[in-house]
Amino acid sequence: MKGEASWINDCTDVVVRDDSDLNSFSDLNDDDGNKDVNAVSVDLILPDDLLERILAYLPTASIFRAGSVSKRWHEIVSSRRFLWNLSHVTSQKPWYFMFTSSDEPVGYAFDPVLRKWHGIDLPCIRTSNWFIASSCGLVFFMDNDCSSELYACNPITKRFRKLEDPPGSRLSDYSALAVSVNGESHNYTVSIVKSNQVPRDFLQWHLSIYTYNSDIQMWMTSWTEVLTGWRGGDESVICNGNLYVLIYSTGGGYPENRHGILAYRLSGRYSRDDKLIKGFIPAPCSLTCGRLMNLKDKLVIVGGIGKHDRPGIIKGIGIWVLNGRDWQEIARMPHKFFQGFGEFDDVFASSGTDDLVYIQSYGGPSLLVFDMNQKLWKWSHKCPVTKRFPLQLFTGFCFEPRLEIAP
């Protein structure tokens, strides 16, 4: 990141540096003097195993700080046993990485626990418009030009791995990336959905699903189907063993719905006569756009609600969860928050995991957080970057900050 030092240096092992590596922004002042006194007293009293368990419950950024308290603490947070303890601790609240450039993959990550922004240098990704999907601490980046480069990485430790090139046509009209990581085995499944228009037929689109299993390190062509009146786009998510794909109307099918959902069972067996379109799930209402996410194995859609007489014009934002084949409305963004974004486009960025949903306008760095448990809307602390020119765009993605997982 030009002009900024990352709070985590490049490293292949989980090694904790000194405090100078931590570059965070917050309105709160730390009382470092009191922290040092408490750290020394705890260091003298507690045995290693108990200290390990206590440190494992710290926020991720605090674990890096803890490593600079003493040589003993440094050795503890760098040990394999400590990482094993981390894997058995309740997952951290998800962070949101906000790109602050339309071209370069630079930006800051918001930590909802400490309510701070951290400067992080992302590995592998070269531009901010790459396809991005995350699960269980791993983030996957795929190039937006020909979908031929695919990386799995841990953005905290910066460990990464290049996956085998995906099959299928290098060029597609639309592509969608989704991933699911097993929290215990750390094996993962990756899916890529490609959509191409049938030549000389605007209504028909060819949809292909490719899946990758890290256990066998192999790609498979899982499904192909020709859709009439619908096409795939750039939204998909894996949830509870199902791949959900958001599809868009091309002028046929169900006129009252501009969006719908297709569900594909990743471990299921399908015959040649089966069609995913037969299980079509309509969107909860007329949407200007939809963002799919997996929140605790529940499919959630965050959508822009269109006006009744002008469905392409956004009037608000809603959150729904899928129960069976029916949508249950969880919340609608209060008007004061909707107005707080200023000018809000019909499309916007949104992602989430665990209990948090992040919503961001492409036109500015404001970030709104919705807590699914508390049903609470709250603005994040102000991002340390301001809009420099009218056409500057902002986007981002959500991920779990985890130290113990590697691709």
pLDDT in tens, 250-309: 875 555 678 999 999 998 788 878 899 999 999 999 899 999 999 999 999 999 998 877
Q: Which helix (H) or strand (E) is 114 found in, with range?
A: none
**One-letter amino acid for residue 381 of the chain:** H
CA–CA dist 180, 359 (Å, integer): 22
User: Is residue 13's pLDDT more than 70?
Assistant: no
Per-residue pLDDT at 292: 98
Distances in Å between the Cα of 351 and the Cα atoms of 23, 264, 319 are: 24, 21, 12
Q: Please, which pLDDT band fits residue 380 given cuts at 50, 70 and 90?
A: very high
User: Is residue 180's pLDDT more than 60?
Assistant: yes
Per-residue pLDDT at 41: 59
Per-residue pLDDT at 175: 94
Q: What is the mean pLDDT of residues 15-35?
A: 44
Per-residue pLDDT at 227: 94
User: Is residue 11's pLDDT more than 70?
Assistant: no
**What share of the chain has pLDDT > 90, as a percent?**
51
pTM of the model: 0.84
Name the least confident of 68-72, 287-291, 339-343: 68-72
Please report the sign of the dihedral spanned by the C-alpha atoms of residue 281, residue 286, residue 291, residue 293: negative
Characterize 269-299 residue by residue with b for buried, 16 or more Cβ atoms within 10 angstroms of its Cβ, and e for exposed: eeeeeeebbeebbebbbbbbbbbbbbbeeeb
Question: In 3-state terms, what secondary structure has residue 337?
Answer: helix
Per-residue pLDDT at 15: 40
Asked if residue 319 lies in contact with residue 370, where contact means CB atoms within 8 angstroms, the answer is: yes
Provide the 10 A C-beta neighbour count for residue 313.
Answer: 11
Distances in Å between the Cα of 380 and the Cα atoms of 52, 347, 360, 398 are: 31, 20, 11, 14
